[in-house]
Amino acid sequence: MKVAVFSTKRYDRDFLERANVHHGHTLTYLEPHLTGATASLAKGFDAACIFVNDHADAQVLEQFAAFGIRLLALRCAGFNQVDLGAAGAHGITVVRVPSYSPHAVAEHALTLMLSLNRRIHRAYNRVRDGNFALNGLLGFDMYGKTVGVIGTGKIGLIMTGILTGLGCKVIAFDPSPAKNLPADASYVDLAELYAQSDIVTLHCPLTADTHHLINGAALAAMKNGVMLINTSRGALIDTRAAIEGLKSGHIGYLGLDVYEEEDELFFDDLSNQVMRDDVFARLLTFPNVLITGHQGFFTREALAAIAETTLANITNYALGRQPLFTVSG
């Protein structure tokens, strides 16, 4: 199939090309994000392949249908950026990569926790400046702390296992509890999780129900000085409410690999530009905030799995088989 691949970087091309040796599709790599203004780049193709910050809304999908595109392949797990109702109405099949390396994301969440706790990001800069003072770098033992895990899919379960291995008391919330939660962990309701947790880590999808799950009321219900970690989707957290929590000291540590307005920021080099997002710029002023640019998935194993599953989905569709992982509205 002829596939227009949006939002591509060099690393995307490298891994997709390796996987495509066994699939034989014609892949055209496009650097722009998919929007209503760039959708026309897919004209003449059989399928479009998109990433987390591309937007396949009703307008885009109407254009795709007019071009004859019948397959939209997401090279990511989340699909909140796709209007599934419009896709169904236009007869466009949507496929995704539900699991690539859940270990990668869980390990990155742990990295944020440990780095914030021991102020590694600040210590690194100090030592490079010849400052070996320890004032302001005081941390705490993770052992014995209560960590609340919201969402116990594959990533959340791995996170739970890692945390219990560190000797943390793990409590979890999920509207669809997993049967294989580690024996040392237990499910509680959200109110209890907020009240008991020293650390709260988010591993749930972004849906209408979870949008701004962490808002002012939720933060007020948490312990003073709580550590909050988000490696899932940015809009799970009301950023302005989080800033107020940071200003008051109620949030003691904030680790983000995602941001609710990241579309115009992440995955691009903006180092020579003025920061136009005032909310994001405000986050960067706090010494107890650590942000990475949607890096949690970024391991060799994950990129290889994403490329293979994406192309396998496309191959199955091209051969008239059921794609491996379809998404319906």
- Tell me the catalytic residues: 233, 262, 294
* Tally of CB atoms within 10 A around 209: 9
**Crossing angle for the helix pair 10-20 and 300-318, to the nearest 10 degrees:** 50
User: Tokens 């440990």 appear where?
Assistant: 114
The rounded distance, in Å, linking the Cα atoms of 27 and 310 is: 12
Strand pairing of 47-50 and 26-29?
Answer: unpaired
C-alpha to C-alpha distance for 80 and 205, rounded to whole angstroms: 9
Length of the chain: 329
Backbone angles phi, psi at 119, to 5 degrees: 55, 45
In angstroms, the Cα distances linking 124 to 127, 129, 140, 180 are 5, 9, 18, 39
Between the CA of residue 132 and those of 4, 124, 125, 270, 286, what are the distances in Å? 51, 10, 10, 31, 21
Say how far residue 298 (Cα) sits from the centre of its chain.
Answer: 11
Residue 34: CA count within 13 A, CB half-sphere: 29
Contact 53, 82 (CB under 8 A): no
Burial zone of 263 (CB within 10 Å; 0-12 exposed, 13-18 middle, 19+ buried): middle
3-class DSSP assignment, residue 150: strand
Q: Which two tokens stand for residue 57?
A: 């809304």
